[in-house]
Amino acid sequence: ITSKLPHIGTTIFTIMSRMATEEGAINLSQGFPGFGADPVLLELAGKYIREGYNQYPPMAGIPGLRQRLAEKTQLTQGYFPDPEKEVTIVSGATEALFAAVAAVVRLGDEVIVLEPAYDSYEPAITLNGGIPIYVSVNSGDFSVDWEKVKAAISPKTRVIMVNSPHNPSGFVWSSEDVDHLAELVRDREIYVISDEVYEHITFDGRKHISLGSHPELREKTFVCGSFGKTFHVTGWKIGYCIAPVDMTSEFRKIHQYLTFTTVTPIQYALAEYLEDPVRYLSIPEFYQSKRDLFAKGLAETQLKFTPSAGSFFQLASYGHLSQISDQELAEKMTRKLKVACIPISVFYSDKRDDKIIRFCFAKADQELLEALERLKELP
Ligand code: PMP
Ligand code: GLN
């Protein structure tokens, strides 16, 4: 078979998680919670399965969940998307991102991608005939260099793909960033695909600003989110896309033939669970204590870092300690120290090695403390 994606192998998340299991290492690599979800949510899922909510739901998602998501959006972001025509429930943010790309990218279109970037963007673009145009964020704090983004725009630019809170850096956009983007796409036929899977994980009082909350950007943006990330159930693979009516209509044409629908009982469970806003409003506090615990311990190691501003990831640099590549270090740490992490060179198109590794701190406190003890042994 002639591969359509010859440059793609197994994802680093799978590789590192597998290595962690083989080595019996504490797995701070792949981003998934190491603790259970709220028993109330699990009970609801069981209830709806037992009560027979097990056949195909409506293609766009059950009305109850779309309504609750619109209400959540109103409460947290100050705008109310039309549940009927602007909200679609899909099988995870990965599907939302892919379907959004497929809905608008045509052969030869350019898609600006800010890097370091999550690994699913590029294959989605390439498979849909698009050309990724990479713009690096500033090294150091991972803020966006808007002049560079502007310089990357060409008559062929069709989409800009963005992600805040950012994986892997944790960088969280300010309202100035949002305004910059709005200015760049103003009067241009450019869509925005906004990966907001960490929307509820921000620290030190920062607030996530959804691009959907900006009146101009709202008209051009596919907002992609993940219930799996938000409610500690990544294996449920359920997410959403919010976009204006005409864009949603194209998005649904793709969703209809990609997966058609997503898991029925879980949609009912989430709809009921979302009735109480405390369930998502309490998430920043929950993760802040983990971020703080991890940062406190990391300060006692020789790694250098700035505490994460959002997401459940913490970056750390080691260039002052060793010159081995980040991939080698990640492997060595997994096998010798028994702590697995992600080398961030894999998030760059040119695989540049800035000697930075990523830890996921969405783990039980005891596990984090044990990992931190081991990290003290570095280098
Ligand atoms: N985007 C980013 C930045 C992510 O970190 C993830 C997480 N795995 C996803 C998208 C995919 O989310 P989901 O598991 O809902 O498909
Ligand atoms: N988003 C998760 C991470 O960045 C991984 C999800 C996956 O394995 N595809 O670690």
Q: Whose CA is nearest to atom 5 of ligand 1?
A: 167
How far is the C-alpha of 332 from the C-alpha of 374, rounded, in Å? 13
State the sign of the Cα–Cα–Cα–Cα dihedral 235, 114, 196, 329. Answer: positive
Which ligand is located closest to the Cα atom of residue 194?
1
Residue with tokens 């080398």: 343
Give backbone dihedrals phi and psi of 156, rounded to 5 degrees, phi first. -90, -5
Lookup: tokens for 158: 């069709």
Strands (E) across the chain are located at 26-27, 87-90, 110-115, 131-136, 157-163, 191-195, 221-226, 239-242, 313-317, 339-340, 342-343, 356-360
pLDDT of residue 379: 82
pTM: 0.97
What is the value of ipTM here, to two decimals? 0.97
Pick the CATH number of 39-279 from 3.90.1280.10, 3.40.50.300, 3.30.70.270, 3.40.640.10: 3.40.640.10
Phi, psi of 130 (to 5 degrees): -85, 170
φ, ψ of residue 239 in degrees (nearest 5): -150, -165
Q: Going by CA atoms, what residue is nearest to atom 3 of ligand 2?
A: 31
Query: Of the residues 32, 233, 313, which should be mutated to test ligand 2's pocket, given the most ligand atoms within 8 Å of the CB?
Result: 32
User: Which ligand lies nearest the alpha carbon of 30?
Assistant: 2
Give the pLDDT confidence score for residue 362 in this predicted structure.
98
Measured from the Cα of 197, ligand 2's closest atom is: 1
Domain at 12-30+282-375, CATH from 3.90.440.10, 3.90.1150.10, 3.40.50.1110, 1.10.1660.10: 3.90.1150.10
Contact 215, 23 (CB under 8 A): no
Residue list, ligand 1 pocket, CB within 6 Å: 31, 92-94, 118, 163, 167, 195, 197, 226, 228-229, 234, 239
Task: Going residue by residue through the chain, which has 379 residues, state the pLDDT in tens, using 9 for 90 and above.
Answer: 999 999 999 999 999 999 999 999 999 999 999 999 999 999 999 999 999 999 999 999 999 999 999 999 999 999 999 999 999 999 999 999 999 999 999 999 999 999 999 999 999 999 999 999 999 999 999 999 999 999 999 999 999 999 999 999 999 999 999 999 999 999 999 999 999 999 999 999 999 999 999 999 999 999 999 999 999 999 999 999 999 999 999 999 999 999 999 999 999 999 999 999 999 999 999 999 999 999 999 999 999 999 999 999 999 999 999 999 999 999 999 999 999 999 999 999 999 999 999 999 999 999 999 999 999 998 8
C-beta of residue 340 within 8 angstroms of C-beta of residue 21 = no
Pocket of ligand 2 (CB under 6 A): 11, 13, 30-31, 167
What are residue 11's phi and psi, to 5 degrees? -70, 150
Q: Ligand 1: which residue has its CA nearest to atom 12?
A: 93
The predicted structure's pLDDT at residue 75: 98
Cα 344 versus chain centre, distance: 15
The atom of ligand 2 lying closest to the CA of 167 is: 4
Distance 18 CA to ligand 1 centre (A): 19
**In the chain, where the domains are located:** 12-30+282-375, 39-279
Round to whole Å and give the CA distance between 67 and 29. Answer: 35
pLDDT at 6: 95
Residue 93 Cα to ligand 1 midpoint, Å, equals 6
In 21-64, where do the E strands start and end? 26-27
